């Protein structure tokens, strides 16, 4: 049962749309000073806009997400990545909210990124694609809203890298977002977090088929490296406990171990599968750039700047973490809460109990969903 | 509005930045915010936190017995703890933390030396039960019961100065008939406004 009292349903069939937001005449100016054009963005919208546009919710996706957050593209058994949370009668209730979800800059699922054609060369950018920041991701999110004629957002919602965008948005544009829902995110990666990114990138860049990022023409990408990067990242998304429950030491497809160096344990088989299916939907260069965006993100680095930024912030926050998340554990969320609270920004914080580690934000964890539903309910009430 | 909340609200100047420890369903904070305060609650229970969310009251779900590490020194004008002191494991630690993060503190608690509790224990030989302490001994969350005298000794030891003391009757409302001198015997509870 959703917050609005109607049973939770699926959005059903949804469609991705595309729009060119920046052109040669009006390029995207990145934090680095470099410019980028054209910039095309893939996005989806769900629900109906009110006349006064006071029900707009923006979804910011994490490292490997895409525009298809909810509903499906033809196969109901493969819904969008946040279909648990978004839909009619769900916590982000599309019966009452107008939801905008886009693929982020540098991605590879419809939005301009390293696999897009560089107009200067007529070939894919590869590593010629400029480095960008979380602020740049926000600029593109805003440009999409401007295209849709939206200037004010009831709530921006994101997990992990998505939460980082929500935070950055509030600091960069203090008047635009009324509520920020930041789930298992961080204001800065720890050494351990960066170390995981570094190993993932090394796996990709040391793959002989990487070809300095110009693998698009060869018909053979750094599949080995990218799948290893995904396998390793996937370990960090699960908890020790959830892996124990899910796989234990069970052997794949038989009772007795094979005693060889191939894939024998169920957990190996699972990770291998995850690595493999990832190749079909993700570009290795996008993985390099987006992990790098996260490494360099340090939202509260400059205390003086933060003081002046947070003094202006009108956004109220809901910050959530999960007790078994070790990718961005609760101390990361507490760090966000501490800084926001010290600067008098209204924050509500909960650490939710869930066995599923970092992945919890994508799953149906009842206390988590109840919290988001209650928060958005209240946010909607305040607009009326 | 809960009677003791009314007394507490009367001690909070308009526009104060207020922290409410053990804020429960957030009803006191909601009222203070309505009166122009800037408020934040800390609450441990799931139900309490959800009720705060529904009221639009900002709240951190946390255990105040572990200190207030996420809150900076002097970051609040007033820190409130209403009828919660008797339920914490480490009252001295909590008082110290209140003193650290807030310029002033408001604390209310039931007085275990109230004459009615004394006579109940003396006459029946059993743990007293009262409107402010309504639980039986085996299910009570109230594990650190103290008298007015006890509390003042601890507040003094922690470096607080009593700015104002308002006595409460058994309903939690302002007790007008009792003299301050006989407070420890005749008041069912008290609200203190403390400064450093």
Domain count across chain B: 1
Chain A residues in contact with B59 (beta carbon < 8 A): 348-349
Contact B70 A370 (CB under 8 A): no
Q: What is the pTM of this model?
A: 0.96
Contact B17 A344 (CB under 8 A): yes
Chain B residues in contact with A313 (beta carbon < 8 A): none
| Average pLDDT score over residue span A22-37 | 97
Model confidence at A347: pLDDT above 50:
yes
Domain range for B53 is: 3-195
**Is A179 a known active-site residue?**
no
**Can you tell me whether residue B23 is helix, strand or coil?**
coil
Chain B residues in contact with A375 (beta carbon < 8 A): 53
Contact A350 B49 (CB under 8 A): yes
> Best residue in B26, B42, B58, B101 to probe A by mutation, most A CBs within 10 Å?
B58
Model confidence at B2: pLDDT above 80:
yes
What is residue A357's predicted lDDT score, i.e. its pLDDT?
Answer: 97
| Average pLDDT score over residue span B37-62 | 97
Contact B72 A338 (CB under 8 A): yes
Dump pLDDT digits (tens) for A130-184: 999 999 999 999 999 999 999 999 999 999 999 999 999 999 999 999 999 999 9
How much is the mean pLDDT over chain A? 96
Closest Cβ opposite residue A371 in set B53, B56, B62: B53
Q: Which of B16, B21, B50 is nearest to B33 (CA)?
A: B16
Closest Cβ opposite residue B75 in set A342, A375, A377: A342
What is residue A57's predicted lDDT score, i.e. its pLDDT?
Answer: 98
Task: Give the gap in angstroms from C-alpha B75 to the nearest C-alpha of chain A.
Answer: 6
Model confidence at B176: pLDDT above 90:
no
**Is A160 a known active-site residue?**
yes
What is residue A1's predicted lDDT score, i.e. its pLDDT?
Answer: 44
Q: Which residue of B has its CA nearest to A369?
A: B50
| Strand-pair category, B102-110 with B76-82 | parallel
**Which CATH number do you get for residue B77?**
3.40.50.150
Model confidence at A248: pLDDT above 70:
yes
Give me the phi and psi of A24, to 5 degrees please.
-50, -40
pLDDT > 90 in chain B, percent: 92
Model confidence at A119: pLDDT above 60:
yes
Residues A160, A239, A333, A354: which is the catalytic one?
A160
Q: Domain spans of chain A? A: 17-188+298-383, 193-291
What is residue A2's predicted lDDT score, i.e. its pLDDT?
Answer: 46
Model confidence at A5: pLDDT above 80:
no
Closest Cβ opposite residue A349 in set B38, B54, B61: B61
Task: Give the gap in angstroms from C-alpha B71 to the nearest C-alpha of chain A.
Answer: 6
Chain B residues in contact with A347 (beta carbon < 8 A): 40, 58, 60
Give the pLDDT band (50/70/90) at residue B36.
Answer: very high
| Average pLDDT score over residue span A205-234 | 96
Dump pLDDT digits (tens) for A291-309: 999 999 999 999 999 999 9
Alpha-carbon torsion, ordered A9, A11, A12, A17, to 10 deg: -170
The second-level CATH assignment, the architecture, of A193-291 is Orthogonal Bundle (1.10)
Give the pLDDT band (50/70/90) at residue B177.
Answer: confident
Contact B58 A382 (CB under 8 A): no
Count CB atoms within 10 A of the CB of residue A261.
6
CATH of A17-188+298-383, one of 3.50.30.60, 3.40.50.2000, 3.40.50.1820, 1.10.1060.10: 3.40.50.1820
Residues A325, A329, A333, A359: which is the catalytic one?
A325
Dump pLDDT digits (tens) for A98-112: 999 999 999 999 999
**Is A358 a known active-site residue?**
yes
| Average pLDDT score over residue span B133-143 | 94
Closest Cβ opposite residue A351 in set B59, B61, B75: B61
């Amino acid at each position: 049962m959703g917050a609005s009292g109607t049973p939770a349903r699926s959005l059903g069939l949804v469609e991705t749309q595309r729009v060119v937001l920046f052109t040669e005449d009006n390029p995207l100016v990145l934090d680095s000073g470099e410019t980028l054009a054209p910039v095309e963005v893939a996005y989806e919208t769900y629900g109906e806009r009110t006349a006064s546009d006071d029900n707009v919710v923006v979804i910011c996706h994490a490292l490997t997400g895409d525009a298809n957050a909810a509903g499906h593209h033809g196969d109901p058994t493969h819904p969008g990545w946040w279909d648990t949370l978004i839909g009619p009668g769900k916590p982000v209730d599309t019966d009452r909210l107008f939801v905008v979800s886009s693929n982020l800059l540098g991605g590879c699922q419809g939005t301009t990124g390293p696999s897009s054609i560089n107009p200067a060369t007529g070939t894919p950018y590869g590593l010629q694609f400029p480095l960008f920041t979380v602020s740049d991701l926000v600029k593109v999110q805003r440009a999409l809203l401007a295209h849709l004629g939206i200037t004010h957002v009831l709530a921006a919602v994101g997990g992990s890298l998505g939460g980082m965008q929500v935070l950055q948005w509030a600091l960069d544009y203090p008047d635009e977002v009324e509520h920020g829902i930041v789930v298992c995110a961080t204001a800065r990666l720890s050494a351990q977090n960066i170390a995981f990114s570094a190993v993932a990138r090394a796996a990709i860049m040391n793959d002989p088929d990487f070809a300095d990022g110009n693998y698009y023409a060869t018909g053979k990408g750094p599949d080995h490296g990218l799948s290893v990067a995904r396998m390793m990242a996937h370990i960090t998304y699960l908890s020790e406990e959830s892996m124990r429950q899910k796989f234990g030491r069970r052997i794949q497809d038989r009772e007795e171990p094979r005693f060889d160096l191939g894939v024998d344990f169920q957990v190996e088989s699972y990770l291998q599968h995850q690595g493999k299916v990832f190749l079909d939907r993700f570009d290795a260069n996008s993985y390099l750039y987006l992990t790098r965006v996260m490494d360099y993100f340090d939202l509260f680095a400059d205390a003086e700047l933060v003081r002046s930024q947070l003094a202006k912030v009108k956004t109220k926050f809901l910050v959530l973490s999960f007790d078994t998340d070790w990718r961005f554990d609760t101390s990361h969320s507490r760090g966000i809460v501490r800084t926001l609270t010290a600067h008098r920004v209204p924050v509500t914080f909960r650490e939710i109990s869930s066995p599923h580690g970092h992945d919890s934000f994508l799953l149906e964890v009842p206390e988590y969903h109840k919290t988001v539903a209650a928060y958005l309910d209240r946010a909607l009430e305040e607009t009326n | 509005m809960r009677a003791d909340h009314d007394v507490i609200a009367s001690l909070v100047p308009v526009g104060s930045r207020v922290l409410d420890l053990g804020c429960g369903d957030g009803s006191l904070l909601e009222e203070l915010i309505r009166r122009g305060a800037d408020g934040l609650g800390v609450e441990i229970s799931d139900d309490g936190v959800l009720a705060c969310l529904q009221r639009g009251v900002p709240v951190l779900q946390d255990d105040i017995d572990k200190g207030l590490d996420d809150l900076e020194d002097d970051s609040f004008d007033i820190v409130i703890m209403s009828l919660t002191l008797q339920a914490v494991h480490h009252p001295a630690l909590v008082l110290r933390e209140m003193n650290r993060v807030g310029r002033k503190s408001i604390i209310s608690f039931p007085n275990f030396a109230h004459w009615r509790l004394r006579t109940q224990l003396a006459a029946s030989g059993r743990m007293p039960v009262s409107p402010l302490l309504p639980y039986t001994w085996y299910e009570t969350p109230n594990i650190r019961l103290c008298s007015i005298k006890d509390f003042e000794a601890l507040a003094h030891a922690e470096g607080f100065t009593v700015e104002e003391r308002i006595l409460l009757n058994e309903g939690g409302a302002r007790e007008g008939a009792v003299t301050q001198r006989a407070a420890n015997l005749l008041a069912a509870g008290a609200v203190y406004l403390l400064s450093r």
